[in-house]
C-alpha cells in the first residue's frame, strides 16, 4: 500500500477508461471561457479583500470534473482557462457579486506529476486550499499536515462494480466473497486493504493489476468485478463502452464501513490559525457556491467541459457525463448535509472511527502517523455557516 491519494489512483483509471471510449462523445474544439481583461467590478456584500490573498488558489486532485462543481461555480463568465498551466482563473463571486479577490482552480493528477495534494500544498505556499481525503491526511500527518475545513462529500464515491447478469445474487461487495469473481483494483488502494482486513473480500480473489482500461472487464464477459467511481464508471460502461453498453451493479465502499471524508477542502494545519480571518469569510462562500451549483449546474458544467477540452491531456469528459455526475452526486447521497443539517460539516466521532481503521493500515505499510493525532487535528467546523444547507 502507498500513501498515494486514492482519488488520484482511481481517477487515473477513469482517465485511461474514458480517453478512447468517450472521444466520440466529447464536444469539439475547446475554447477558453473568456479572453481579455474582465470589466470593472464592484465589490458586493461579501468583501474578501484585505483578509484573503489577492488570488485564492485551490489545488484539486484531478482534472476538472463535475465533482468540483462547487469550486468552479465560484467563477463567472469572465473566467479564463490557461491550457498550458492547467488552471482556470477569474474573479471570485458570491452569488453573482464580486468578492474583491480572484480565484484560481488548479488541476491535479497529471498536472502535478500524480503527486499528493498535501505534498503540493506544502511545496507551494500560494495554495490556500486543497482537496484531501481523510486517510490521505492521516498518512501525511507527520510530514505534510493538513486540516479539513469543508466536507465536499458526505460519502466517498468509490465503488466496487460487477455484472448483475452474471451475479444476480450479488447485492453488496460482501456478497462477492461467496463467488468465484476476481476483483480487479488499482494497486496501492487503501480501502482495498480495509475490505480484505475486515473480511468483506477474500485476499485470494483480488487482482491488483487494474490498468484503468475496460478491456479485462469486458473480456471476462461479466465474470470479474472491478473498482470504480459511482459518478463515472456506471455511466461510461452503460453509454460509452461499445462492447458492453449495459448497466453494472455496484456498492459504495463507504457503505461497507469505511467512512472517510473524500476530497475534503483542506488547508495546511498551521493556516487554521494563520488564515482564520480569511477562512471565516471564505468558507461560507464556498458552502453557498456548492448549494447553488446543484440548484443549476448547467453553466458551471459547460465551463468544466471547456477546461477539460482546452487542457487536451487525454482526459475526455463529455457534457453528458458531467450532467450525470451532478445528478448522481445528490441522488446517491454523496453530496449531502452532515448529521447536524449543515452542508460541509464533519462528525468528530466519524473521524475518530476513520483513525481507528486507517492508522493500523498505515503503520503496517510503514507510514508514520503523527503522535497523538486526533479528530480536531484532521478537521474543523469552525469556519462553516450553520445556516447553509442543501435542500
Mean pLDDT of 294-321: 96
281 shares its domain with 356: yes
Q: φ and ψ at 160, to 5 degrees?
A: -110, 130
What is the structure's pLDDT at 18? 40
Give a yes or no: residue 328 inside a domain. yes
pLDDT greater at residue 377 or residue 10: 377
Banded model confidence at residue 39, pLDDT cuts 50, 70, 90: low
- pLDDT tens-place string over residues 236-264: 999 999 999 999 999 999 999 999 999 99
Give a yes or no: residue 9 inside a domain. no
Give a yes or no: residue 356 inside a domain. yes
Banded model confidence at residue 23, pLDDT cuts 50, 70, 90: very low
Banded model confidence at residue 17, pLDDT cuts 50, 70, 90: very low
Q: Is pLDDT of 16 > 50?
A: no
Chosen domain end from 234, 256, 278: 256
Q: Is pLDDT of 202 > 70?
A: yes
Q: Among 196, 209, 194, 206, which residue's Cα sits nearest to residue 13?
A: 209
Banded model confidence at residue 85, pLDDT cuts 50, 70, 90: very high
Looking at 247-347, list the stretches that DSSP marks H as alpha helix, in order from N- to C-terminal side.
Answer: 271-274, 276-295, 298-311, 319-331
Q: Among 130, 104, 105, 151, which residue's Cα sits nearest to residue 5?
A: 130
295 shares its domain with 197: no
CA 71, CA 50: separation in Å to the nearest integer? 21
30 shares its domain with 175: no
CA 336, CA 212: separation in Å to the nearest integer? 28
E strand or H helix at 98, and its extent? strand 97-106
What is the structure's pLDDT at 33? 39
Indicate the burial class of 195 (C-beta count within 10 angstroms; 0-12, 13-18, 19 or more). buried
Q: Please count the structural domains in the chain.
A: 2
Mean pLDDT of 75-80: 96
CA 63, CA 87: separation in Å to the nearest integer? 10
Q: Which of 65-74, 180-189, 323-332, 348-357 is predicted least confidently?
A: 180-189
pLDDT greater at residue 52 or residue 3: 52
Look up the domain containing 171 and give its range.
158-256
**Mean of pLDDT over the chain:** 91
Banded model confidence at residue 187, pLDDT cuts 50, 70, 90: confident
Chosen domain end from 228, 256, 284: 256
What is the structure's pLDDT at 40? 82
Strand partners, 225: 183
Mean pLDDT of 81-103: 98
Q: Among 306, 264, 292, 272, which residue's Cα sits nearest to residue 70?
A: 292
Q: Which residues of 13-42 are buried (b: 16+ CB within 10 A; e: fewer)?
A: bbbbbbbebbeebbeeebebbbeeeeeeee
Name every residue whose Cβ is closer than 8 Å to that of residue 155 and which is 6 or more positions away in sequence: 252, 254, 255, 262, 332, 333, 334, 336
Q: Is pLDDT of 30 > 50?
A: no
Q: Which of 26-40, 204-218, 302-316, 353-367 is predicted least confidently?
A: 26-40
Chosen domain end from 256, 275, 296: 256
250 shares its domain with 283: no
Give a yes or no: residue 276 inside a domain. yes
147 shares its domain with 270: yes
Q: Among 101, 89, 128, which residue's Cα sits nearest to residue 307?
A: 89
Indicate the burial class of 164 (C-beta count within 10 angstroms; 0-12, 13-18, 19 or more). middle
Q: Is 172 helix (H, G, I), strand (E, B) or coil?
A: coil
Name every residue whose Cβ is closer than 8 Å to that of residue 111 and which is 6 or more positions away in sequence: 63, 86, 311, 313
Give a yes or no: residue 99 inside a domain. yes
Give a yes or no: residue 68 inside a domain. yes
Mean pLDDT of 38-55: 91
CATH code assigned at 33 = 3.40.190.10
Q: Is pLDDT of 21 > 70?
A: no
Q: Which residues of 129-162 are buried (b: 16+ CB within 10 A; e: fewer)?
A: bbbbbbbbbbbbbeebbbbbbbbbbbbbbbbbbb
Mean pLDDT of 188-197: 93
Within 10 Å of residue 67's Cβ, how many Cβ atoms? 29
180 shares its domain with 283: no
106 shares its domain with 206: no
56 shares its domain with 148: yes
116-to-53, 155, 187, 345 alpha-carbon distances in Å: 23, 21, 16, 23
36 shares its domain with 141: yes
122 shares its domain with 182: no
Work out the percent of the chain whose per-residue pLDDT is above 70: 90
Within 10 Å of residue 206's Cβ, how many Cβ atoms? 17
Banded model confidence at residue 25, pLDDT cuts 50, 70, 90: very low
Say what the pTM is.
0.90
Mean pLDDT of 286-302: 98
Q: Is pLDDT of 26 > 50?
A: no
Angle at alpha carbon of residue 168, lines to 167 and 170, rounded to 5°: 70
Give a yes or no: residue 2 inside a domain. no
- pLDDT tens-place string over residues 123-182: 999 999 999 999 999 999 999 999 999 999 999 999 999 999 999 999 999 999 999 999
- DSSP one-letter string for 116-127: -HHHHHHH-TTE
114 shares its domain with 43: yes
What is the structure's pLDDT at 268? 98
* C-alpha dihedral, 183 to 186 to 187 to 192, nearest 10°: -50
Give a yes or no: residue 20 inside a domain. no
Banded model confidence at residue 383, pLDDT cuts 50, 70, 90: very high
Mean pLDDT of 75-101: 97
149 shares its domain with 270: yes
Q: Is pLDDT of 208 > 80?
A: yes
Amino acid at each position: 500500500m502507498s500513501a498515494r491519494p486514492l482519488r488520484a489512483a482511481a481517477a487515473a483509471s477513469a482517465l485511461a477508461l474514458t480517453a478512447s471510449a468517450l472521444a466520440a462523445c466529447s464536444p469539439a474544439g475547446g475554447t477558453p471561457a473568456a479572453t481579455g481583461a474582465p470589466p470593472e467590478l464592484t465589490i458586493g456584500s461579501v468583501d474578501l479583500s484585505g483578509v484573503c490573498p489577492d488570488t485564492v488558489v485551490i489545488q484539486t486532485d484531478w482534472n476538472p470534473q463535475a465533482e468540483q462543481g462547487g469550486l468552479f461555480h465560484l467563477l463567472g463568465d469572465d473566467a479564463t482557462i490557461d491550457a498550458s498551466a492547467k488552471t482556470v482563473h477569474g474573479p471570485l463571486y458570491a452569488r453573482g457579486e464580486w468578492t474583491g479577490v480572484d480565484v484560481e482552480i488548479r488541476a491535479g493528477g497529471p498536472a502535478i506529476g500524480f503527486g499528493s495534494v498535501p505534498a503540493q500544498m506544502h511545496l507551494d505556499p500560494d495554495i490556500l486550499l486543497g482537496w484531501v481525503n481523510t486517510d490521505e491526511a492521516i498518512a501525511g500527518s507527520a510530514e505534510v499536515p493538513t486540516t479539513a475545513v469543508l466536507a465536499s462529500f458526505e460519502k466517498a464515491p468509490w465503488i466496487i462494480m460487477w455484472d448483475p447478469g452474471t451475479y444476480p445474487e450479488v447485492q453488496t461487495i460482501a456478497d462477492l466473497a461467496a463467488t468465484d469473481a476476481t476483483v480487479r483494483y488499482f494497486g496501492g488502494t487503501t480501502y482495498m486493504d480495509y475490505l480484505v482486513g475486515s473480511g468483506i473480500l477474500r485476499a485470494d480473489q483480488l487482482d491488483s493489476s487494474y490498468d484503468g482500461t475496460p478491456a479485462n472487464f469486458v473480456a471476462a464477459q461479466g465474470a470479474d468485478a472491478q473498482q470504480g467511481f459511482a459518478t463515472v464508471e456506471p455511466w461510461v460502461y452503460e453509454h460509452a463502452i461499445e462492447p458492453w453498453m449495459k448497466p453494472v451493479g455496484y456498492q459504495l465502499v463507504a457503505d461497507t464501513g469505511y467512512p472517510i471524508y473524500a476530497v475534503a477542502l483542506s488547508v495546511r494545519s498551521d493556516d487554521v490559525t494563520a488564515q482564520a480571518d480569511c477562512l471565516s469569510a471564505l468558507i461560507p462562500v464556498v458552502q453557498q457556491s456548492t448549494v447553488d451549483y446543484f440548484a443549476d449546474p448547467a453553466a458551471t458544467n459547460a465551463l468544466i467541459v471547456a477546461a477539460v477540452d482546452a487542457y487536451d491531456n487525454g482526459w475526455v469528459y463529455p457534457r453528458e457525463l458531467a450532467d450525470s455526475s451532478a445528478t448522481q452526486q445528490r441522488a446517491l447521497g454523496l453530496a449531502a448535509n452532515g448529521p447536524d443539517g449543515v452542508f460541509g460539516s464533519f462528525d468528530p466521532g466519524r473521524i475518530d472511527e476513520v483513525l481507528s481503521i486507517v492508522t493500523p493500515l498505515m503503520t503496517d505499510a510503514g507510514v508514520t502517523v503523527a503522535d497523538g493525532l486526533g479528530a480536531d487535528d484532521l478537521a474543523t467546523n469552525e469556519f462553516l455557516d450553520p445556516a447553509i444547507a442543501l435542500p
